[in-house]
Structure formats: structure tokens, C-alpha cells
Amino acid sequence: MAIDRDTNPRSAGDRALGLVRRALDRRDGLDRIVSASLPGRMSLAEKCLANLTALLAKDEGGLSADTMVCLRALSPDDFRRDLEYLLGAVHGPEPTSTDKGKDEDRIAAETHNSPWWVSYCIRTFGRGRALKLLSNCWRPRYVRLNTLRTNGDSALPRQLKGLQDVLEVVPSLSGVYRVSKSPPSLSGLLSSGLLQFQDLASYCAVVAAGPVPDESVLDFCAAPGAKTAALAQLMSNSGEIVSVDYSFPRMRGWMREMRRLGVHIASPLIGDVTRLGLTRQYELVLLDPPCSGTGIIDRNPQMKWRLTQESVTRYSQLQTRMLEEAYRLLSPTGRILYSTCSMTLEENEQVISAFVEAHPEMETRTLPLDSNLGSPGMNGLGNCRRFYPYLDKTAGYFIARLERV
Ligand SMILES: C[S@@+](CC[C@H](N)C(=O)[O-])C[C@H]1O[C@@H](n2cnc3c(N)ncnc32)[C@H](O)[C@@H]1O
């Protein structure tokens, strides 16, 4: 691919972001190519440029003269000689991984994942499903029509009529559209609050919670607010939502989102969910805790290089503590909705099973969702729902609803 001088800032930006994502996604292979030619230490800027050079040479079918001019222009002065050497070397055969012997190591090298995560997926999901999961298939983006900006009307408003061939209706979830092609700019519709980008599975979690007008809702781990806004919509902006998150910058984004989307019933509370000291009880507690993000690796590929069994265990422990706090603040007739964008058992089924075992008066309930959305949970938790990117074309997701027996 030649780096052409794209004058459309949106598509140039999208392509640049795509390159960064791919460079992060394939970091293991690119590191191997670069270190075979330049084994010494490099600054971060030099390393990024070297990996970009390898990516463009190997993945995009070679370096055009134009591309090389651009790469040279990006080079720090004292890296020029190394870059020239790399530009020559990347045309040679790719160095092979030193540990291609074992099947799992070979899959790791081919799918650009750590051997640990490959073994985990094969052990947990079986080889066939693991291979599909690890190969990171493409998934579409989804938008939700924000009926708080249409006086409750769920028909496609006039402003969106021209987008009918781009917005594909999602059967069984009214008001949610799959963005099927590269759409014309949606920025006007987004800034007026008519639309909100939200993954289908994330919206399903809110629908599964079954919020209704005039309820009291505690929204744990709320920023940047996608679920808060969907809750407010399903509650017709009537009732009360208290949205808690400990990140001040992320809650600033949450406030902007609430203004943009016309949400009037949510109030922010900045604090640590595990140490809030609240006493009042709520009819619905929605808990969307921090997680390993193994269901959204395609959108955030650097995560997979940080992932370890220890980090998954740490998330699982934190999620368990947060679920206990959700339970403490639940009214006697209330319900908890637990969701993550993780694929691991430790952060999903194991958290829920341990909770139900510790609180025999609580049980998982069937989700009020169309049966074609997602698959049953694992480890006997058939009432919960999992979403697999390769099957559902959504983020990898887990949803559980807990109520008193
Ligand atoms: C998965 S994101 C939440 C996404 C959000 N529910 C939405 O739909 O837009 C997890 C959030 O948990 C917050 N968080 C992590 N640890 C926390 C803690 N101990 N107390 C409160 N918030 C926490 C993070 O700041 C992050 O915003």
C-alpha cells in the first residue's frame, strides 16, 4: 500500500487508526522481524517507526517509493542508518518463531496471541471454537436510536431516512441498527444526540435488566455512560439513576454524554464502588465492572499482550467484591444485572456461581431477551447469556441477572 496523501481527514484518520490497531495486533511478529535486523536497543519512537515499516512491508504487499519517502521523513536523525538497513532487510524472508514446535505455539504465532491465551481458549472452548475466537473476525458497529431525542417515537426520524441503505435493522431489538457500510459522516446526528454508538451485546445487557419508568437504579462502573443512557431511555427519563465511577476524567465524558443524549434522571457519584458507604437500597443494581476486555481485543489489541492468568484472577476478585456491594445495596424485591466484555470463566460464570453459593437466597433468572441473541452461559449457567464475536457479530460478552429466589 502506498501512503497516499488523503485529503479527507475522516478517512485518513480511520486509516491511521487501522494501521495503529494492526501494528498492535501483530506486535509479536513485527517485533521478531525488527529485532532480527536491528537487535540493539531503540527508543519508543524508533521502535514504533520500525514496526510500522515492517507492517507496511509485510502486510500491505511491499513498500512503494512514496511510502519509503514518508517513512524516511518520520525518522529521527540518528535512526536514519538503521531505518535504511531495515528498509532493505524487510524485503527478505520473514524470520520464523523460535517456538513453532508445539501446536499451541504455532497457533499463537499465526493468530498473533500469547501462547498462554491460546492454551486457555483451547482448554475452555475446545479447539474449533478457540480458533474462531483467536482469529478475531470482523464485526460491525451498531447505533441506537435515542428516543429521548424523538419524543419517544421509535420510527426512523426524517433526518435518518437518507441512511436507510446504511443502517440495517436488527430484528428483535427495536431501535438498534447495524451500520452495514462505511456511512457518510454521522457527526451531525451524533452531536444532536439522535444516535449513540453502542455494541449490540452492551445494549442487550441493559434490556436484560428490564428497567421501567419510576424505578430507582444504581449504575455501578458507569463511565463513559453508554448503559446509563440506554437505561434512561428504557425508563422514559422518569425515575432515578445514580451512576458511580471512580475515574474523574471518565465521568467528565459521562456528563457530556448525558447532556448530548438528553438524559435528565441520572446523577453522577465519583467514588470507589467497593468503598462507597451508601446505605439506601435500589430496585435495580447494574454492575458493569472493569474486566480483562478479552471480548473486545479486536478494538483494543494492546490488551492481549498484557493479559496473564494473574491479571484475570485479580479482575475476578475485584468483580466478586463489587458484586457483594451490589447485593448489599439491593432492595428485597430488587435485581442485579451483571455484565462484562470478557470471555473468561473466572470473570463470568465463576463469579456468579460463587455468589449464588454464598447467597442461597439468590438465583440466576432467564433473561428477557429474544432467544436468537447470544448463547447460554457455560458451567451449567444456562440462564446467563454469552456472546461470541464470530457467531453473534458483537463484542464478546457475558450477561447474568440475579434475583431473590
Ligand atoms: C467496563 S467500563 C464501564 C462501561 C460503562 N458501564 C458503559 O456502559 O459505558 C468499567 C468502568 O469501571 C470503572 N472502575 C474501575 N474500578 C472501579 C472502582 N473500584 N470503583 C468505581 N469504578 C471503577 C472504570 O473507571 C471504568 O469506567
Q: What is the pLDDT of residues 123-141, one digit of tens each?
A: 999 999 999 999 988 899 9
For residue 242, list its beta bridge partners.
218, 267
Burial of 53 (0-12, 13-18, 19+ CB in 10 A): buried
Q: Whose CA is nearest to atom 13 of ligand 1?
A: 221
Query: Is 314 within 8 Å of 292 (Cβ atoms)?
Result: no
pLDDT tens sequence across 155-180: 888 877 788 888 898 988 989 999 98
CA distances (Å), 329 to each of 230, 271, 325, 348, in order? 22, 15, 6, 21
Which residue's CA is the closest to the ligand 1 atom numbered 1?
Answer: 290
Q: Where are the chain's structural domains?
A: 9-89, 103-134, 204-404
Q: For the ranges 19-23, 183-187, 279-283, 302-306, which has the lowest average pLDDT? A: 183-187
Ligand 1 centroid vs 191 CA: distance in angstroms?
24
- 299 vs 394: CA distance, rounded Å: 12
If you measure from the C-alpha of residue 272 to the centroid of ligand 1, how many angstroms do you get, rounded to a whole number? 10
The CATH number for 204-404, chosen from 3.30.470.10, 3.40.50.150, 3.60.15.10, 2.130.10.10, is 3.40.50.150
Find out whether the beta carbon of 272 lies less than 6 Å from any atom of ligand 1: yes
Distance CA 170, CA 204 (A): 12
Which ligand 1 atom minimizes the distance to the CA of 291?
A: 1
Task: Name the percent of the chain lying above pLDDT 70.
Answer: 94
Dihedral class, residue 175 (left if φ above 0, else alpha if ψ from -120 to 50, else beta): left
Q: Check residue 4 and give its pLDDT.
A: 43
The preferred substitution site among 246, 261, 299 for testing ligand 1, maximizing ligand atoms within 8 Å of CB, is 246
DSSP class per residue in 359-374: -TTEEE---SS-TTSS
Residue 314's Cβ-side half-sphere holds a number of Cα atoms within 13 Å equal to 7
Burial of 61 (0-12, 13-18, 19+ CB in 10 A): exposed
Evaluate the CA torsion angle 343, 345, 349, 350 in order and state its sign: negative
* 290 pocket-lining for ligand 1 (C-beta < 6 Å): yes
Q: What is the pLDDT of residue 211?
A: 98
State in Å: Cα 15 to ligand 1 middle.
29
pLDDT band at 278 (very low <50, low <70, confident <90, very high): very high
Q: Is the CB of 288 under 6 A from ligand 1?
A: yes
pLDDT one-digit tens code per residue, 56-99 = 887 766 777 778 888 888 888 888 888 887 887 777 666 655 55
Specify which residues 266 forms β-bridges with.
241
What is the average per-residue pLDDT within 38-46? 84
- Look up the pTM and report it: 0.85
Q: How far is CA 158 from the centre of its chain?
A: 31
Cis peptide before 224 (omega within 30 of 0): yes
